[in-house]
Amino acid sequence: MHWKTILRITSLLVVIFSFNFIPPLGVSLFYGDGHWGTFGLSWLIVAVIGVLFWLPVRGDRKELMVRDGFLVVALFWTVLGLVGSLPFMFGLGMTATDAVFESISGFTTTGATVILGLDELPRSILYYRQQLQWLGGMGVVVLAVAILPMLGIGGMQLYKAEVSRVTADDKLTPRLMHTARALWAIYLTLTIACALAYWLAGMTPFDAIGHAYTTVATAGYSTHDASMGYFDSVAIELIAIVFMLLGGINFALHFLVWRSRDVRVYLRTPEARVFLGLFLAATMAIAGGLAFVGTYDSVLESLRYAAFQTVAVLTTTGYGTATFAEWPLYIPLVLASLSFIGGCAGSTAGGMKVVRIMLLFKQGAREVNATIHPHAVYRVKLGDRAVPEQVVQAVWGFYTVYILAALVLTGLNMAMGLDMESAFGATIASLNLLGPGLGEVATTFAHQSDPVKWMASFAMLMGRLEVFTLLILFTFAFWRN
C-alpha cells in the first residue's frame, strides 16, 4: 500500500471540497439569513485540516496500484461525507449522528433525511443540501464510468470499452482527467437545461436551481417538506420525469449521443432500451392498480402519479408527489423491487443496475436451455456482443453479496427495534440509495434511534460504492502484503 500517496490524494480532495462551502456562504449573504459564519467557519476548519495532512506528503508521486484505488475511493466518500456534516452541526445545532446522516445521505445522492420543517430553514442551508447532492452526483459520474470499470467491480469491467470510447488515452491519469471533463460538461449542461425548464414552468429561480441539482443527480433532496408535491404542477412533474430518466442513463452514452448528434443511439443500446421499457411497463401496471382501486378520481390522474413515482423510484431519486408506501395492493412491493434494479450502469442512480439484471436473466435462460440441450454451447450476449464468462460470474457474485447484504441489514434493523416492514424499508431507502422507505421510515428517519441512523449511513456508503468496494476493506486478504 502506498500510504503517503493515498494520504496526499485524500487530503487534497478535502482541501478541494472545502470550497464547497463558499457558494452557500454567498447565498447567505445574498438573502441575509445570518448563516454566512456557519459556512465560513466550516470552510476554514476543513481547509486547514486538509492542508495539515497534505503538507508532509505533498512531494510523494508514486503511481497508485489497483488495491490503493479501493481505499482511495472508499476514503473519498467517507471522509467528505463526514466533513460535509459541519454546517448542519454549526448552523442547525444537529447532533453528530443526525448531521453525519444528512451529509452522507446528501453526498451519496440517497435523499433520506432527518430534518423536519424544510420550508422554514434558512436559504443557505437549503441551498447547501441541494448542492451537496449535485457535487456527489459529479463524483458518482466519474466513479461509475471511469473508476469502477478499471477496478472491475461486480462485472463493471464490461464498461472499460465504453470508457475507451470516451477517450482514446490508455494512461490512467490523462484518461481520468479527459473522461471527467467530458462527463462533467454533459452533467453541467443537463443541470442548466433542467433549471431553465423548471423556471419556465413556474418555479422560483432558487427552487429551480436547487431542484435541478437533485434531479440530474437522481438524488431527491427538496427545498420543501412536500417534495415535488409542493408545486402540484403537471408541467414541473413532466420536466422532472425527463431529467430523472436522463440522469438514470449511462453518462458515457450521453457523450456518444452528443458526439454523434444522433439520439437513436439510446434505442440501439440494449440496457437503455430495457431501462425505458421497465419504466413504461411499471407505470402501466401501477396506474392500472391505482385506477382499479379508485385511489384517484380519474385514470389520467392515476397515470400522472404512477409515472412520476415509478421514475422517481426506478432512478432511486426519491422525489415524492405521493407517499407510495400507502398505496394499495401490490404497488409498494413493485416499487420496492424497482429500487433494487435501479438505473443504468454509469449513471447517478443506485440499485444493482439494469445491465446486471439483464445478465442475470440471460444467464438463467442459458441454464434452462443447457438443461434441455446439455451438449449445446450457449453464449450470454448483450446485443450482438458476447459477454466474457468472468464478467457473468462477477455479476452473479455481486448479486449474491448485494442480496445477502440487504438481508443482513434488514435483520440488524429489526434487532434495533424496527418492525419487519420498517426494517426492510430502511434497507431499501439506504442500500438502494432510494431515500424514502416503508413503514416508519416512509418519509423520514428523524424519529429513529442513533444506531439505526448509523446503520443506514453505512448502508448508503455500501450502496454508493457498489458493495464490494467497501466490504473488501474488511477482509484480511486486502491488508495482507
Q: Pick out the residues of the known binding site for K(+).
A: 109-110, 316-317, 434
DSSP 144: I
CA distance linking residue 327 with residue 2, whole number of Å: 52
| CB within 8 Å of 168: residues ≥ 6 apart | none
Binding-site residues? 109-110, 316-317, 434
Question: What would the grid cell of residue 443 be?
Answer: 418519509
Q: How many helices (H) and strands (E) does the chain have?
A: 23, 2
Question: What would the grid cell of residue 364 be?
Answer: 438463467
CA distance linking residue 120 with residue 122, whole number of Å: 7
Measured CA to CA in angstroms, residue 194 lies from 107, 410, 418 at distances of 20, 36, 38
| CB within 8 Å of 432: residues ≥ 6 apart | 316, 339, 340, 342, 350, 351, 463
Measured CA to CA in angstroms, residue 309 lies from 327, 332, 336, 398, 408 at distances of 11, 11, 11, 27, 27
Question: What would the grid cell of residue 478 be?
Answer: 486486502
∠ CA 327-133-263, rounded to 5°:
80
Compute the residue count for the chain.
481
Nearest to 214, CA basis, from 232, 235, 195: 195
Q: Residue 353: which H helix or E strand, with range? A: none
Please give the span between the terminal C-alpha atoms of the chain, in angstroms, as a whole number: 8
